[in-house]
Structure 1
Amino acid sequence: MKVKVEIDCTPEEARTFFGLPDVQPLQAKILAEMERRMLAEMDRFSPEALLRSWMALAPQGPEQMQDAFSRLFQQSFGGGTKPPG
């Protein structure tokens, strides 16, 4: 035996019928707070800000670049040898 029941109601009516809480006001508050935080942090993650932060990590002059590479090679090869030059 098959029984088919079709109920035509809105989500709010179904939620009330089953006794579930209405979380729409809480959801609206949380989404508004998330939007506020995201907009406040947008400047930190702009392409210009990211590029500036990455460039600050890079050596500025040729001497600094050479020193950075020599330190890298010394650490990689475990040598106490000084690069030629």
Structure 2
Amino acid sequence: MKVNVEVDCTPEEARRLMGLPDLTPIHEAYVAKMQDTIDNGLRPEMFETMIKNWAPMGEAGVAFWRRLFEAGTKPGG
């Protein structure tokens, strides 16, 4: 026997149905802080420090993205 269930709901409705917290205020504060930092004269070294502090997995996450971008910018790649 095979049973298929199709649920038609918005992401907000799904979040509430599963009892997950609404992280919208945290997301908005995070984006506002990034925008404020960029608007107030962000230097490259400041950006790297900020990302290291905010990025998932800290330094390992930054190293992953650095390798990814370096691989994408190599000639013939």
Give the TM-score, by structure 2 length: 0.51
Structure 1 runs of 4+ aligned residues shifted over 3 Å read none
- Structure number with greater Rg is 1
Work out whether 1:28 is the aligned partner of 2:28.
yes
Alpha-carbon separation, structure 2, partners of 1:17 and 1:23: 15
Distance 2:5 2:41 in 1: 50
Provide the aligned length of Structure 1 versus Structure 2.
44
Cα deviations by residue, 1:23-80 (Å, 9 ceiling, x for unpaired): 01110111001110112124x46xxxxxxxxxxxxxxxxxxxxxxxxxxxxxxxxxxx
Show structure 1 runs of 5+ residues with no match: 46-85
Residue in structure 1 matched with residue 7 of structure 2 by the alignment: 7
Aligned partner of residue 27 in structure 2, secondary structure: helix
Over the residues paired in the alignment, what is the CA RMSD in angstroms? 1.4
Structure 2 residue runs of 5 or longer lacking an equivalent are: 45-77
User: What percentage of residue pairs aligned between the two structures are identical?
Assistant: 48
